[in-house]
Amino acid sequence: MAGNANSGRKRKPTHLKLIEGRTYGMKDRAGEPVATGELGAPPSHFNERQREIWIHALGHAPGGLLKSIDGALLASWCAAQALHEKAVTMLNSTPVVIKSPNGAPMQSPWVAILNKQTSTMRSLVSELGFSPAARAGISLAAKEERDPLAHYFGE
């Protein structure tokens, strides 16, 4: 389960607790699953801009953090960024306030698209380790095998 049903807060992964030195009250989680497999080429259904975003993200993401299972999250982030860019481009060339079919002023639909994609991207950056705050609690330095972090990040 991704979060605690009572508090609504997401459960912090064990490897992040270990990195932070917070082991008080932790249950033995030696059997906690660790994702494997590297991410590769962008999805075949992506357009050219989405492919560029994918390649840029993989080239600049914290090394060793993203695994194959994270592909759907990264794909969602790439699609959101591409649509965010399109909304910004459209808002740069069209009015923010337009007339509705009945003549009343209304917000351009591009504003809602921009806001939705911003929200989507903000929720995914912490999951993917793309924000400064997310990276602040992550350490992927090489560890000796007897280190408990080796279980989560490999040798």
- The tens digit of pLDDT for each residue in 106-116 reads 999 999 999 99
Domain residue extents for the chain: 14-153
Which pLDDT tens digit goes with each residue over 113-152? 999 999 999 999 888 888 877 777 666 655 444 566 666 6
In this structure, what is the dihedral angle of CA atoms 91, 94, 99, 105, given to the nearest 10 degrees?
A: 50
**Alpha-carbon gap, residue 76 to 80, rounded angstroms:** 6
The pTM assigned to this predicted structure is 0.70
